[in-house]
Amino acid sequence: MQYDGRAKFDRQPTGWHHLDKQQKMNRSEQAGEPSESSATAPVLAADYLQRVHRNKGLGTWRSLYLELLQKPGLSNYRSIAEIGAGSPEFLIATAAKRRVAVDVSDKYRAAFETAGVDFAVRDLESEDLSGLGDFDVVVCSDVFEHLLRPEVALSSIKAAMEPDGLLFSHVPNEYRLKTTLRIMLGVQEGLYFHLDQSEWADPHLRRFTDIGYRRFLGQAFQHNTKITSLRYRGIAKALHRTGLKVPFCIEGGPTYVSTDCPRKHEAVHEALGKA
């Protein structure tokens, strides 16, 4: 697949997430479904950017990706895309000649274009990444949990990668011990993140265990290397140092590097040995 210029970057999405409120209400009424209201409806992907999302800058996992992308065997990438980019700090810090931010709305377009980063609007539950070219590296952090059909997005990402491309991805751990106990004891609603939201309007539409996330990635990639341990803290870090298995309930969210290329898979493991 060849990159065919900036014109396709501005293609307007046609999926449900990009309809305005009145259009959504009209379609729901035509289908005999109840209309949504911003106070009670599930927070779908585009709504999340407008109503809930707050930029966190580079953050824990993007900082880790940058560290790994500087390692021998992983540093020779020329193109990179970030899915669900939000803010430009990560892409600005990369060494790629071609950098593309992809998000479900153009809320942050100006920030990226001012920083010299190309910006594309795509709803990956109803659109693919065609027209943007193929990428050596794709980053997708804290995105899949917001999607009704994350497997569709994963397939689109895979199709936009070079044969030896790498996917760095992360989803949050919504089975943390402390919060789970509070929910089980009946002193907290079933929210692990976005605590300012109501339980019935949780922006996280999917929840992943580490086992489930590895299986999810395995639908598209032959090699999936877990890197969560590189950001262990506290008890998890202490257990890991002793060689004991760290329970999922005290880990950070599942974080992986995925590829179909055996050579790149080996390079990832070599990089982890030096991380």
- What's the confidence (pLDDT) of residue 271? 94
- What's the confidence (pLDDT) of residue 58? 79
Q: What is the DSSP string of 1-27?
A: -----GGGGGPPP-SGGGS-HHHHHHH
Q: Is 211 a domain residue? A: yes
Q: Is 141 a domain residue? A: yes
Q: Is 191 a domain residue? A: no
Q: Is 216 a domain residue? A: yes
Surface-to-core class of residue 96, CB atoms within 10 Å of its CB (0-12 exposed, 13-18 middle, 19+ buried): middle
Q: Is the pLDDT of residue 210 over 50?
A: yes
Instruction: Return the axis-axis angle of helices 210-218 and 150-159, rounded to nearest 10°.
Output: 50
pLDDT band at 71 (very low <50, low <70, confident <90, very high): very high
| Residue type present at position 119 | F
Q: Is 138 a domain residue? A: yes
Q: Is 51 a domain residue? A: yes
Q: Is 237 a domain residue? A: no
Residues 150-182 pLDDT 10s: 999 999 999 999 999 999 999 999 999 999 999
User: In this predicted structure, which of 89-103, 197-211, 247-261 has the lowest mean pLDDT?
Assistant: 197-211
Domain CATH code at residue 132: 3.40.50.150
Domain span including residue 75: 6-173+206-230+254-274
Q: Is the pLDDT of residue 224 over 50?
A: yes
Q: How many domains does the chain have?
A: 1
pTM attached to this predicted model: 0.81
Helix or strand holding residue 180 (H, E) = helix 177-184
Residues 31-51 pLDDT 10s: 344 334 444 444 555 565 555
b/e map 61-82, b = 16+ CB within 10 Å:
bbebbbebbebeebeebebbbb
Q: Is 69 a domain residue? A: yes
